[in-house]
Amino acid sequence: MHSEKITGNIIVGQSGGPTAAINSSLAGVYQGGRELGAGKVLGMLHGIQGLLEGKLVDLSEKITCDLDLELLKRTPAAYLGSCRYKLPDYKKDPKDYDRLFEILKEQNIAAFFYIGGNDSMDTIRKLSEYGELKGSPIRFIGIPKTIDNDLEITDHTPGYGSAAKFIASATKEIIRDSLVYNQKNLTIIEIMGRHAGWLTAAAALAKGNDCEGADRIYLPEKNFDKEVFLKDIAALQEQKQSLVIAVSEGIHLADGRFVCELSDKDFYVDEFGHTMLTGAGAYLSALAKKELGCKTRAVELNTLQRCASHIASHTDIEEAFEVGRRGVMAAAKGVTGEMAVIKRVSDSPYLCTYETHNIKQIANMEKKVPMNWINEGDDGMKEEFIRYARPLIMGEVMPVMVNGLPKHLDYICD
């Protein structure tokens, strides 16, 4: 594999929502470019949207030493900035494509890397198809990234492990916090994930010798029943006074209505006439307070789920780096229209290898939590999930602490 080299420059962009690991993939692409003899490693600012406006940066000017590369791996969000720009169908509207390929030619680009989720993989699919159509030698490779862990084919997605580690740690800490008062109390932790429950399922990892874990876990893969929920909680409260429940923001009733919409539409309209984005957690907390009369609270884990790099998973950060680096190696071998994927060899000891896979079987798809990993009550995770997820949160990435806080690579976007 080491005989292939990159001839010319390479370019890399980031797209979609931030994660704690996406910059490690950027570091991996940079490192891959260096190893394989690429000329410049260019970054597009704010993804293809910025590229269309010619907004480029030479990464070697930003990453000047090994420490910079390590800081980049420890910097959350998207160092190059992001976008949510959907390329049109090139058959109907090739304008963007002509412009992009013109810029890529001007910049002597041999390979193009896009780090992102489902939508970003659609961009890679379209660009590689268009490139093939035009006989372009440019290689287009997708690098997976999303805290949602909902990409097909790859065993898991870089970004998920760190988000899961934060969620599980926070859940442990919140459970402790809920134990202090000597009265019945119910905490609802609301976790990201509109359609796929991977993040919410991570609350199950909190359970251990020192923690009873979340008492119930509700994923969007299953229908949620308010009456069953209330009866269940009431019964559970007879056994223990402090309950902690994890719910996905996307839980919904059997008729398809989101639980968070119940509150929006029925009773949370703000003074400006907008429906408020009151979440599933706040709704269930209010409902339980009324129906069960106990002290309740809702805790939304919020933005930190995707940017808490201070408690990143070592496994995740290193894998994110490696999918970036492997993407460049694949491009050097002539691969195009594929995404770097992680393939699990074994759970224990945890072992993964890397491959690339046809982007058409990945773009725009959505991988959900397998139904047979959810327990029979539809309110918790089976051991199969724990075996899958535990390795992904293992290991620590020591932040570089300066003045008492994690240091990040200086930013270039504003």
Contacts (Cβ under 8 Å, ≥6 apart) of 89: 126
Minimum distance between the CB of residue 91 and a second copy, rounded to whole angstroms? 28
Q: Which residues pair with 295 in a beta bridge?
A: 185
Minimum distance between the CB of residue 398 and a second copy, rounded to whole angstroms? 9
Tokens read off for 295: 């002290």
- 120 part of the interface to a second copy, by CB under 8 A: no
- 173 part of the interface to a second copy, by CB under 8 A: yes
Active site annotation includes 255: no
* Feature table: binding site: 17, 118, 146-148, 192-194, 249
- 407 part of the interface to a second copy, by CB under 8 A: yes
- 84 part of the interface to a second copy, by CB under 8 A: yes
Buried/exposed 195-231: b ≥16 CB within 10 Å, e otherwise = ebbbbbbbbbbbbeeebebbbbbbbbbbebeeeebbe
Subset of residues 16 to 45 that bind a second copy, contact rule: CB under 8 A: 18, 45
Catalytic residue among 96, 122, 148, 316: 148
Residue 44 or 153 having the CB closest to a second copy:
44
Residue 72 or 251 having the CB closest to a second copy:
72
Minimum distance between the CB of residue 205 and a second copy, rounded to whole angstroms? 7
Alpha carbon distance 121, 115 (integer Å) = 8
Minimum distance between the CB of residue 291 and a second copy, rounded to whole angstroms? 9
- 339 part of the interface to a second copy, by CB under 8 A: no
Tokens read off for 231: 């009866």
Which of 12, 170, 188, 204 lies at the binding interface for a second copy (CB under 8 A)?
170
Subset of residues 292 to 311 that bind a second copy, contact rule: CB under 8 A: 297, 299-300, 302-304, 306-311
Residue 34 or 297 having the CB closest to a second copy:
297
Write down how long the chain is. 414
- 165 part of the interface to a second copy, by CB under 8 A: yes
Residue 132 or 383 having the CB closest to a second copy:
383
Residue 82 or 248 having the CB closest to a second copy:
82
Minimum distance between the CB of residue 263 and a second copy, rounded to whole angstroms? 7
Minimum distance between the CB of residue 304 and a second copy, rounded to whole angstroms? 6
Q: How many residues bind a second copy (CB under 8 A)?
A: 84
Buried/exposed 14-49: b ≥16 CB within 10 Å, e otherwise = bbbbbbbbbbbbbbbbbbbbbebebbbbbbbbbbbb
- Which window, 109-117, 145-153, 251-259, 397-405, contacts a second copy (CB under 8 A)? 397-405
CA dihedral 204, 205, 209, 215 (to 10 degrees): -20
Which of 103, 211, 292, 365 lies at the binding interface for a second copy (CB under 8 A)?
211
- Which window, 137-145, 202-210, 246-254, 368-376, contacts a second copy (CB under 8 A)? 202-210
Strands 56-58 and 41-44: antiparallel
- 365 part of the interface to a second copy, by CB under 8 A: no
Angle of the 259-267 helix axis to the 280-292 helix axis, nearest 10: 80
Subset of residues 241 to 270 that bind a second copy, contact rule: CB under 8 A: 241-242, 263, 266-270
Alpha carbon distance 248, 308 (integer Å) = 19
- Which window, 32-40, 102-110, 131-139, 406-414, contacts a second copy (CB under 8 A)? 406-414
- 49 part of the interface to a second copy, by CB under 8 A: yes
Q: Supply the residues annotated as catalytic.
A: 148
